[in-house]
Amino acid sequence: MYDRYEKQKIVDAFFKTEMGDGIFALFFYRPLAYLIFKKIIRKPVNPNKITIITLIFYTSAALLLFIYPIEPFSVILQNKVYGIDLWFLLFLIAFNMAPIFDCMDGAIARLFNKTSAKGRLLDSFVDSFGFAMIFAALLKRFVSYTFYIAVIFFVYFAYSNIALSYMLEKARKGEESISDRKTRKIFGLEFRIVLGSPDYFIITINLLIVSYYLQFYSLLLSQILTISWTTFLVIYFIVKFRHIS
Domain ranges for the chain, please list them.
7-243
Residue 36 has pLDDT above 60, yes or no: yes
Report d(CA 123, CA 106) in Å as an integer: 8
Q: What angle, rounded to 10 degrees, do the helices at 47-67 and 117-141 form?
A: 10
- Looking at domain 7-243, which of 3.20.20.80, 3.40.50.720, 1.20.120.1760, 3.40.50.510 is its CATH number? 1.20.120.1760
The amino acid sitting at 204 is T
Tell me what the mean pLDDT of segment 135-145 comes to: 92
Tell me what the mean pLDDT of segment 52-67 comes to: 95
Report d(CA 138, CA 150) in Å as an integer: 9
* 40-49, 81-90, 136-145, 161-170: segment of lowest average pLDDT: 40-49
Q: What is the pLDDT of residues 60-114, one digit of tens each?
A: 999 999 998 888 888 888 888 888 899 999 999 999 999 999 999 888 888 888 8
Query: If you ran DSSP here, which 8-state letter would residue 124 be given?
Result: H
